[in-house]
Amino acid sequence: MQIALDAMGGDHAPGPIVAGAVQAVQADPEIRVVLVGDRAQIETCLAAAGAPSDRLDVFHCTQVVTMEETPVEALRKKPDNSISRCWQLLAERKVDAIVSAGNTGAMVAGGLRLRRFLKNVRRPGIAAVMPTLRGPCVLIDVGANVSPKAQHLFQYGVMGEIFVKHVLKREKPTIGLMNVGSEEAKGNDLAKETHALFNSSTLREQFVGNIEGRDIHRGAADVVVTDGFVGNVVLKVCEGVFEFLMKMTFKEVLGALNTERGQGQQALQNLVDRYDYSEHGGAPLLGIDGICIICHGSSGAKAIKNALAVAANYARVKLNERIVQELEATTPVGVEEDS
Amino acid sequence: MQIALDAMGGDHAPGPIVAGAVQAVQADPEIRVVLVGDRAQIETCLAAAGAPSDRLDVFHCTQVVTMEETPVEALRKKPDNSISRCWQLLAERKVDAIVSAGNTGAMVAGGLRLRRFLKNVRRPGIAAVMPTLRGPCVLIDVGANVSPKAQHLFQYGVMGEIFVKHVLKREKPTIGLMNVGSEEAKGNDLAKETHALFNSSTLREQFVGNIEGRDIHRGAADVVVTDGFVGNVVLKVCEGVFEFLMKMTFKEVLGALNTERGQGQQALQNLVDRYDYSEHGGAPLLGIDGICIICHGSSGAKAIKNALAVAANYARVKLNERIVQELEATTPVGVEEDS
Looking at residue A103, its pLDDT comes to 93
- Interatomic CA distance for residues A310 and A316, integer angstroms: 10
Looking at residue B64, its pLDDT comes to 97
Looking at residue A52, its pLDDT comes to 67
Looking at residue A68, its pLDDT comes to 85
Query: pLDDT digit string (tens) for A227-282?
Result: 999 999 999 999 999 999 999 999 999 999 999 999 999 999 999 988 876 667 78
- Interatomic CA distance for residues B103 and B64, integer angstroms: 10
Rounded to the nearest angstrom, the minimum Cα separation between A138 and chain B is: 15
CATH architecture label of B2-121+287-318: 3-Layer(aba) Sandwich (3.40)
- Interatomic CA distance for residues B97 and B5, integer angstroms: 9
The predicted complex's ipTM stands at: 0.93
Over chain A (339 residues), what is each successive 10-residue block's mean pLDDT?
Answer: 96 94 95 97 91 88 93 94 97 96 94 90 95 95 96 97 94 97 88 96 95 97 98 96 95 96 96 79 92 93 94 92 91 53
- Interatomic CA distance for residues B20 and B28, integer angstroms: 12
Interface membership of B205 toward A (CB under 8 Å): no
- Interatomic CA distance for residues B163 and B130, integer angstroms: 13
Q: Please indicate whether, in this complex, the C-beta atoms of A218 and B232 are within 8 angstroms of each other.
A: no
Looking at residue A332, its pLDDT comes to 60
Asked if B85 and B8 touch (Cβ cutoff 8 Å), the reply is: no
Per-residue pLDDT of chain B (339 residues; tens, 9 = 90+): 999 999 999 999 999 999 999 999 999 999 999 999 999 999 999 998 876 678 999 999 999 999 888 899 999 999 999 999 999 999 999 999 999 999 999 999 999 988 889 999 999 999 999 999 999 999 999 999 999 999 999 999 999 999 999 999 999 999 999 999 888 888 999 999 999 999 999 999 999 999 999 999 999 999 999 999 999 999 999 999 999 999 999 999 999 999 999 999 999 999 998 887 666 778 999 999 999 999 998 899 999 999 999 999 998 999 999 999 999 888 665 555 444
CATH 3.40.718.10 fits A2-121+287-323, yes or no: yes
Query: pLDDT digit string (tens) for A279-305?
Result: 677 899 999 999 999 999 889 999 999
Q: Please indicate whether, in this complex, the C-beta atoms of A244 and B185 are within 8 angstroms of each other.
A: no
3-state secondary structure of A211: strand
Looking at residue B286, its pLDDT comes to 97
Q: Please indicate whether, in this complex, the C-beta atoms of B213 and A189 are within 8 angstroms of each other.
A: no
3-state secondary structure of A184: coil
Nearest by CB to B235, which of A213, A268, A270?
A: A213
Residue B327 identity (one-letter amino acid) = L
Nearest by CB to A217, which of B68, B232, B241?
A: B241
- Among A83, A136, A139, smallest CA distance to A112 is for A83
Rounded to the nearest angstrom, the minimum Cα separation between B187 and chain A is: 6
Asked if B264 and B90 touch (Cβ cutoff 8 Å), the reply is: no
Looking at residue B278, its pLDDT comes to 65
Q: Tell me the whole-structure pTM to 2 decimals.
A: 0.93
Looking at residue B67, its pLDDT comes to 87
- Fold topology of B127-276: Isopropylmalate Dehydrogenase (3.40.718)
| Residue A193: CB atoms within 10 Å | 15
Q: What is the DSSP secondary-structure string of A228-239?
A: HHHHHHHHHHHH
Establish whether domains A2-121+287-323 and A127-276 are of one fold.
yes
- Cis? peptide before A148, omega within 30° of 0: no
The domains of chain B are located at 2-121+287-318, 127-276
Contacts of B143 in chain A (CB under 8 A): 180
Q: Please indicate whether, in this complex, the C-beta atoms of A260 and B257 are within 8 angstroms of each other.
A: yes
